[in-house]
Amino acid sequence: MPVGTAGSVKALSPNDVEGAGAEIVLANTYHLWVRPGHERIKALGGLHKFMGWKGPILTDSGGFQVFSLREKRKVAEEGVNFRCLVDGSKRFLSPELAVEIQEALGVDIAMAFDECIEWPASKDRVAESTARTTRWLKRCQQARKNSDKTALFGIVQGGFFHDLRREHIEELSSLDLDGYALGGLSVGEPKEELLSMVDFGAPLLPFNKPRYLMGVGYPCDIVEAVIRGIDIFDCVIPTRSGRFGHLFTSQGRINIKNAMFKDDPNPLDPLCTCYTCAKFSRAYLRHLHISKEALAPRLFSLHNITFYQRLMQRLRAAIEGPEGELEALRVEAWGWQSRFGEAEISGENK
């Protein structure tokens, strides 16, 4: 899912996002609640109409944003008090309000309001917080008024402790939610910790419900997680990297600022069919970036999103394809992590 925090996938129009192959986007409960306000969006016909997106929308619950505030928040059983970064106001977010906001937005998938804690954290702290997340999830379920329209996904916590993860997954599985996310990951831990927790947790999730790994990741991380049974991802990497001129290609990662592209007449990625690659040379794209032209972040985001969507299409095909196709794609995706030029020299990416 491309990330459209404030109701817009940064620098891209809904047409661009659809053209890149995306079928669903993520928006942020917290941001839309603060500005322009969920009631305003509801009065204007809901988030789909507001942002001009016809496909499904998933919203996170605001839990992760509140968690990111760190010293500016105070967590209690009732909910979280915090100082808003956007307008400086004192605000209070609870499971009930998170559901109310998401139902007012009229999104297709709402995420339960969870407590996401820091890494590392002691086992006691993780256990206490995970138990609260369960109580909050039950309050989310109680608060639903429009469950026909808006699905509810639960978020599994449990930190990096296997027994706590397993217990929480079992607890949440018994609640028959519409889907399950592995939460509390991508919070600063080493990549091996994350993958090992996906390794451990994914097979325990209900096999007949969508499994969502929040906030991951690089193309190779996505492939590794898909192999471990994950279905859904959201990540700001393609758009955020794009704004910095960091581009994913079948020949490795490109930093478009690099002087080696000054006179390069080739498309960013010869294997890509996006507008950016169909129309412009690396030399021109470098020029746009260096000149801080507004077209640059747009063309780069479009390319990166297209690259990610193409990866997801290939993953779906590989899962249904012949033996070995998924493994071949895994090897290929790790090759994309190399810097452009390096893989060519070593011949690994031929």
Q: Return all residues near 290 (Cβ < 8 A) that are at least 6 apart.
A: 257
297 lies in the site for a second copy, by CB under 8 A: yes
Min CB(7)–a second copy separation in Å:
7
Min CB(201)–a second copy separation in Å:
35
Q: Which string of b and e fits 233-265 if b means at least 16 CB within 10 Å?
A: bbbbbbbebbbebbbbbbbbbbbbeeeebeebe
Q: Which residue's CB is nearer to a second copy, number 35 or number 72?
A: 35
Out of 16, 108, 114, 234, pick the active-site residue: 234
48 lies in the site for a second copy, by CB under 8 A: no
DSSP code for 9: -
256 lies in the site for a second copy, by CB under 8 A: no
Q: Which residue's CB is nearer to a second copy, number 41 or number 227?
A: 41
Tokens encoding 113:
């309001």
- Candidates 103, 110, 98; CA nearest to 42 is 103
**Residue 34 identity (one-letter amino acid):** V
Q: Which residue's CB is nearer to a second copy, number 191 or number 240?
A: 240
Out of 16, 60, 108, 269, pick the active-site residue: 60
Q: What is the dihedral of CA 106, 111, 116, 122, to 10 degrees?
A: 160
Single out the segment in contact with a second copy by CB under 8 A; choices: 3-11, 22-30, 195-203, 248-256: 3-11
Min CB(254)–a second copy separation in Å:
17
- Candidates 234, 180, 182, 170; CA nearest to 210 is 180
Positions that interact with a second copy (CB under 8 A): 6-8, 10-15, 35-36, 40, 43-45, 50-52, 262-263, 265, 275, 279-281, 283-284, 286-288, 290-291, 293-295, 297-299
Catalytic site residues? 60, 234
